[in-house]
């Protein structure tokens, strides 16, 4: 049954609401915007001071929860004090002492918690109100009720702790928990209306003022939200300063201590049970820290820690620090202590971190250093070297080599497996090769080492079966002894004396034939022969076999074989040639710098500084270009046999003993002679028997810049023919040429060019080029 109201009740309600709106500084027009249905209608009474069609979701106002620091800072000229999170942190005297004593820059434990506090501290908006929040003056309450009466009303708790709802009357909310406000208001409404459902939400909440004093980073007064706690207020103020206590932060109310907080318990363990809810006018006092100690070395959180009481133990501090890592050595801890009453105040003691050691009482100024464990094994045997996997296994009494290496498959290296499984074109996907091993240059052509032919015979890293070693350490004397054994015999016969007994801590090393070179007679030899032989291919040779044996195994030479141009390459020779070439380039580079400086000095007479500097710059750029081209040259590893032009039988080849990786190339006889350099037309001319250098030069036509005194010939047999050392009446021009020879005509040194700079300083072209096996095509590329 619906209730009806007489007209005088409506007028009385209007007067009460107007007075309440004026008291709360609300707009009278808006405050009076409510309606109660006339008694003669059947509609539900409606009480509201909200605009029609307005949806109020009860969210906290934007200003709700803001924290405002009202501390006046003299340095800010009366401006509201601000906190800059990137400002240089404070440093205590104890921190400076720790840095001096240990070389470590330690922070105070817990200081990071306050280091990123924003300059404008504003918690997340629209956060739920805690159910135990106590309502007070200034809190805004939004009431909605439905059933026998519709209420959509917003009121603010006045300084008397009450709100006034039209037709309902005064409701006391001060001291009421936020979770209980629905019940209290529903009780007041139910005195007039039955069957009413009530929902209470909160809008703008009151702000309170608290004071932060003592050893705070930013002491002053702070305006915070009404449901702030000690922790949130400390965050707003930046926490304690360098000498302030983190373990005894106090809250005082009306001159009495109402609570204290150990921030270590909160930061280290998340214990917030002693956090204090703040009220308006509370004072947060941060006293000075009573004592500090430092943890260094192998601890989980090296830092400076505050002692809460004079009898605090090492165990409690380590508990806050997160304990010790697994690599810490609990047998060796060092405690440095300061006694100001002694003439030498610092002392140190060593102890174990056992039950007694962990109960040791700490004192102000102590420095605890925890050592690391020694990373050695007490019961292990290690296998390394040319093995499938370097492993460490537990030692068992009576253990022997064969127990560690049960079969030969354990001696196949991962790189060997990669080479065996390689099916693509690039071997570098499976194994690592140095830059020098990527390619070798053969007569201007590039022979890649990842060709199929080059990979034959290299799938397995050959093991040195005759020598392996065991490193053994005497832990009492720390003397290392080396015990060698024959690996092959140990693997062949388990009862062999070479299958030696191992000891705990032994390291067994297996070597390959590349780690320690074995005699040629004990190495496998795979040699490649190409070109004009009846059966070109890769052949496995017996140790000690020679070039004629290789040619015979390849079925002999064909009728087109060109003996004079036979090429022979060896990898070890290539490495030596490349090293010597790099030395020559460095020497040439030094000579170029010296010559450039001398030339500029000689030409500087009567010239201004700008002209001299320009000439020097041109000379330096020209030299740099020449050196860059020189670096493009790569040694080939070619060995010159020095065969004569009249030699016509392959029996003339030297009986050179073959090595693994050797390569023999027997070309067919070419039909051309090549001429390049300072000539009018670089060309290849048809070879004619008995023709000399001079005749080919007549056809090519030397230029006016040609240095005719230093012409040289790169012979097809790998040698260099020059005028050096030929005497007064002998010239290279009269020399007869063979098919495949190349004539090089250098330019005079009086021409300013990169080529002139390149040739300057080279006293003997023949020695330089023949020593590195540089081909004619490579020399020609320097001029392009």
Hey, what are 626's tokens? Answer: 């020449």
Nearest to 636 by CA among 588, 580, 680, 707: 580
Cα 120 from chain centroid?
35
- Asked if residue 424 has pLDDT above 60, the reply is no
- Percent with pLDDT over 70 in the chain: 77
Residue 366 burial by CB count (10 A; 0-12/13-18/19+): exposed, middle or buried? buried
Per-range mean pLDDT, top range of 2-11, 100-109, 296-305: 296-305
- Asked if residue 553 has pLDDT above 50, the reply is yes
| pTM (predicted TM-score) | 0.53
Hey, what are 445's tokens? Answer: 């052509």
Q: How far apart are the first and last CA of the chain?
A: 111
Spatial contact of 154 and 269, defined as CB atoms under 8 Å apart: no
- Asked if residue 378 has pLDDT above 90, the reply is no
Model confidence pLDDT, tens digit, residues 87-128: 556 788 888 999 888 888 999 998 888 886 654 444 444 567
CA gyration radius for the chain?
A: 48
Q: Please report the sign of the dihedral spanned by the C-alpha atoms of residue 693, residue 695, residue 696, residue 697.
A: positive
Nearest to 198 by CA among 174, 227, 165, 226: 165
Hey, what are 730's tokens? Answer: 């002998």
Edge-first strand listing for the sheet containing 256-261: 68-69, 220-225, 207-214, 283-286, 249-253, 256-261
Model confidence pLDDT, tens digit, residues 217-268: 999 999 888 888 899 899 888 899 999 999 999 999 998 999 999 999 999 9
Mean pLDDT (whole number) for 326-336: 91
Helix/strand/coil (H/E/C) assignment for every residue in 444-504: CEEEECCCHHHHCCCCCCCEEEEEEEEEEEECCCCEEEEEEECHHHHHHCCCCCCCCECCC
SS3 at position 303: strand
Nearest to 655 by CA among 544, 556, 573, 561: 544
- Asked if residue 371 has pLDDT above 60, the reply is yes
Sorted by sequence, the CB contacts under 8 Å of residue 157 that are 6+ apart come out as: 135, 136, 137, 138, 139, 140, 141, 163, 173, 174, 206
In which band, very low, low, confident or very high, does the pLDDT at 476 lie, cut at 50, 70 and 90? Answer: confident
Per-range mean pLDDT, top range of 237-246, 593-602, 605-614, 726-735: 237-246
Model confidence pLDDT, tens digit, residues 393-403: 999 999 999 99
Other CB atoms within 10 A of residue 189 CB: 24
Backbone φ and ψ for 629, nearest 5 degrees, come out as: -70, -35
């Amino acid at each position: 049954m619906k209730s009806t109201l007489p007209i005088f009740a409506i007028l009385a309600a209007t007067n009460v609401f107007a007075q309440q709106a004026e008291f709360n500084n609300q707009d009278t027009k808006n405050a009076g915007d409510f309606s109660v249905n006339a008694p003669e209608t059947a509609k539900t009474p409606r009480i509201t001071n909200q605009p029609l069609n307005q949806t109020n979701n009860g969210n906290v106002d934007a200003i709700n929860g803001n924290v405002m620091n009202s501390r006046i800072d003299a340095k800010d000229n009366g401006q509201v004090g601000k906190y800059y999170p990137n400002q240089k942190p404070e440093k205590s005297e104890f921190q400076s002492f720790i840095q001096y004593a240990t070389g470590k820059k330690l922070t105070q434990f817990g200081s990071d918690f306050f280091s990123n506090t924003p300059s404008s501290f504003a918690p997340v908006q629209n956060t739920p109100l805690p159910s135990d929040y106590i309502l007070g003056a200034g809190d805004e309450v939004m009431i909605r009720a439905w059933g026998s009466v519709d209420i959509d009303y917003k009121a603010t708790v006045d300084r008397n702790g009450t709100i006034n709802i039209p037709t309902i009357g005064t409701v006391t909310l001060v001291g009421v928990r936020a979770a209980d406000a629905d019940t209290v208001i529903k009780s007041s409404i139910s005195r007039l209306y039955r069957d009413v459902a009530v929902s209470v939400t909160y809008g703008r909440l009151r702000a309170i003022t608290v004071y932060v004093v003592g050893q705070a980073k930013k002491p002053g007064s702070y305006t915070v939200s009404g449901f702030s706690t000690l922790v949130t207020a400390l965050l707003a103020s930046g926490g304690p300063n360098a000498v302030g206590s983190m373990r005894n932060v106090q809250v005082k109310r009306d001159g009495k201590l109402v609570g204290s907080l150990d921030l270590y318990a909160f930061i280290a363990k998340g214990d917030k049970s002693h956090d204090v809810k703040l009220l308006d006018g509370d004072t947060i006092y941060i006293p000075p820290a009573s004592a500090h100690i430092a943890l260094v070395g192998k601890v989980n959180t090296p830092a400076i820690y505050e002692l809460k009481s004079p009898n605090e133990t090492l165990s409690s501090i380590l508990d806050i620090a997160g304990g010790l890592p697994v690599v810490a050595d609990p047998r060796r801890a060092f405690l440095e202590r300061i006694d100001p009453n002694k003439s030498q105040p610092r002392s140190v003691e060593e102890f174990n971190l056992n039950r007694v050691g962990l109960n040791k009482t700490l004192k102000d100024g102590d420095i605890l250093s925890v050592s690391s464990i020694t990373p050695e094994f007490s019961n292990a045997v290690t296998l390394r070297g040319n093995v499938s996997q370097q492993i460490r296994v537990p030692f068992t009494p009576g253990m022997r080599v064969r127990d560690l290496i049960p079969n030969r498959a354990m001696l196949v290296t991962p790189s060997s497996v990669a080479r065996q499984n390689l099916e693509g074109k690039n071997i570098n996907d499976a194994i690592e090769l140095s830059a020098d091993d990527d390619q070798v240059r053969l007569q201007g052509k590039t022979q890649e080492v990842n060709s199929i032919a080059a990979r034959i015979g290299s799938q397995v890293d050959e093991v040195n079966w005759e020598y392996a070693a065991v490193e053994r350490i005497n832990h009492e004397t720390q003397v290392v002894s080396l015990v060698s054994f024959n690996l092959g015999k140990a693997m062949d016969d388990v009862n062999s004396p070479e299958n030696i007994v191992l000891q705990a801590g032994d390291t067994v090393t297996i070597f390959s034939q590349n780690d320690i070179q074995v005699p040629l007679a004990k190495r496998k030899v795979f040699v490649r022969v190409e070109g004009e032989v009846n059966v070109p291919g890769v052949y496995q040779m017996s140790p000690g076999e020679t070039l004629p044996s290789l040619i015979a195994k390849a079925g002999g030479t064909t009728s087109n074989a060109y003996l004079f141009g036979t090429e022979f390459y060896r990898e070890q020779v290539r490495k030596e040639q490349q090293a010597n070439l790099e030395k020559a380039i460095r020497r040439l580079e030094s000579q170029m710098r010296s010559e450039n400086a001398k030339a500029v000095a000689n030409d500087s007479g009567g010239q201004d500084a700008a002209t001299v500097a320009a000439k020097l710059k041109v000379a330096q750029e020209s030299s740099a270009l020449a050196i860059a081209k020189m670096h493009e040259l790569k040694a080939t590893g070619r060995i010159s046999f020095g065969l004569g032009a009249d030699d016509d039988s392959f029996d003339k080849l030297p009986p050179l003993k073959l090595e693994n990786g050797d390569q023999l190339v027997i070309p067919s006889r070419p039909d051309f002679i090549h001429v390049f350099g300072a000539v009018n037309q670089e060309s290849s001319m048809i070879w004619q028997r008995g023709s000399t250098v001079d005749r080919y030069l007549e056809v090519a036509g030397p230029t006016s810049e040609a240095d005719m005194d230093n012409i040289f010939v790169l012979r097809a047999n790998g040698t260099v023919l020059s005028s050096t050392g030929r005497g007064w009446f002998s010239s290279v021009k009269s020399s007869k040429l063979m098919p495949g020879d190349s004539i090089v005509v250098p330019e005079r040194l009086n021409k300013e060019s990169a080529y002139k700079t390149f040739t300057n300083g080279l006293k003997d072209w023949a020695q330089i080029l023949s020593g590195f096996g540089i081909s004619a095509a490579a020399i020609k590329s320097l001029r392009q």
